[in-house]
């Protein structure tokens, strides 16, 4: 790994724990003003200090996040569809030059394995990997799952492994039973989990804890943080699980505290 690639990576993965708590707020690129992110800056800026990295689009970054932030940016580079249409029909919307201009520490796009536009989305990832390797920017591949796909270790292992083989330096996927198999399919490439739809806080903390214990290096969570009744408490609780290995009940107490 070249110096620039290593340096960018080290901004995302905490040097002491080797783990990562990423805050995902890129939902608007296909969902519009997602619940909790209507005023993205108002929601994100108070919880950002507790995260290690921010996953976001260039437009949201420029509109709502102060350029003085010290948080590394994982820039969403794909889009082109909306919730009103076929979700896998994505293109690359952002140039690598613009990613460099906003000082992105990593770039990301979704891959829809088994989806209608499977080949095109794998092509998007390949394009980003070629550009990322050229400029020393790690690529995070997101395994997006169409409604018709079963989120089990067999499917997610297949999707993640394809991303690794195409050259992703990091993979984001969903938690499932036998998650170790998904992690194993990725070899040395670090895996983080998405939070998915909002669920009860304790269940979300349990999911994060199980993922870490099964070998994930971290969590790239969105709705389960910013749609929580206590977003600061929730991100602090997830952080304690990721970086301090606290139990779910200890983490839940952190979530409940308002300090
Ligand atoms: C979709 C995405 C998201 O937009 C987002 O990052 C998901 O985060 P969460 O599921 O935790 O709300 O990657 O594939």
The CATH number covering residue 229 comes to 3.20.20.70
Q: How confident is the model at residue 147 (pLDDT cuts 50, 70, 90)?
A: confident
**Model pLDDT, residue 121:** 98
**Model pLDDT, residue 259:** 63
Candidates 183, 122, 190, 178; CA nearest to 151 is 178
In the set 71, 172, 188, 197, the catalytic residue is 172
Q: Which atom of ligand 1 is nearest to the CA of 198?
A: 12
What angle (nearest 5°) sits at the alpha carbon of residue 107, between those of residues 122 and 44? 125
Q: Which atom of ligand 1 is nearest to the CA of 24?
A: 6
Mean pLDDT of 65-74: 97
Q: Are 67 and 50 in contact (CB under 8 A)?
A: no
The residue whose CA is least distant from atom 13 of ligand 1 is 142
Q: How far is the CA of 172 from the centre of ligand 1 (A)?
A: 9
Q: How far is the CA of 222 from the centre of ligand 1 (A)?
A: 6
Per the annotation, the verdict on 188 as an active-site residue is no
pTM greater than 0.75: yes
pLDDT at 123 over 70: yes
Report the chain's mean pLDDT, rounded to a whole number: 96
Contacts of residue 116, Cβ cutoff 8 Å, sequence gap at least 6: 86, 88, 89, 146
Residue 110 CB–ligand 1 contact under 6 Å: yes
- How many domains does one find in the chain? 1
What angle (nearest 5°) sits at the alpha carbon of residue 151, between those of residues 146 and 152? 145
Q: How confident is the model at residue 188 (pLDDT cuts 50, 70, 90)?
A: very high
Domain span at residue 211? 3-256
**Model pLDDT, residue 24:** 98
Q: Which atom of ligand 1 is nearest to the CA of 108?
A: 13
Q: Are 192 and 181 in contact (CB under 8 A)?
A: no
The residue whose CA is least distant from atom 8 of ligand 1 is 222
Residue 194 CB–ligand 1 contact under 6 Å: yes
């Amino acid at each position: 790994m070249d110096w620039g690639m290593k340096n960018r990576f080290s901004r995302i993965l905490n040097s002491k724990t080797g783990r990562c708590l990423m805050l995902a707020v890129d939902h608007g690129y296909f969902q519009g003003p997602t619940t909790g992110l209507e005023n993205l800056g108002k929601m994100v800026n108070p919880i950002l200090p507790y995260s290690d990295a921010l996953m976001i689009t260039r437009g949201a970054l420029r509109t709502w996040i102060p350029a003085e932030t010290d948080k590394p940016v994982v820039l969403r580079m794909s889009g082109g569809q909306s919730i009103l249409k076929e979700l896998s029909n994505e293109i690359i919307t952002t140039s690598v030059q613009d990613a460099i201009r906003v000082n992105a520490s990593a770039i990301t796009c979704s891959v829809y394995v088994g989806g209608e536009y499977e080949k095109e989305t794998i092509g998007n990832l390949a394009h980003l990997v070629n550009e990322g390797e050229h400029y020393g920017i790690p690529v995070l591949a997101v395994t997006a799952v169409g409604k018709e796909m079963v989120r089990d270790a067999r499917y997610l292992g297949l999707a993640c492994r394809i991303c690794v083989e195409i050259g992703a330096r990091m993979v984001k996927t969903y938690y499932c039973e036998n998650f170790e198999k998904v992690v194993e399919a990725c070899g040395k490439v670090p895996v983080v989990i998405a939070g998915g739809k909002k669920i009860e806080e304790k269940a979300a903390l349990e999911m994060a804890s199980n993922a870490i214990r099964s070998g994930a290096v971290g969590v790239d969570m969105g709705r389960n943080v910013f749609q929580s009744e206590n977003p600061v408490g929730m991100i602090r609780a997830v952080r304690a699980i990721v970086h301090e290995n606290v139990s779910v009940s200890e983490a839940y107490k952190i979530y409940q505290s308002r300090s």
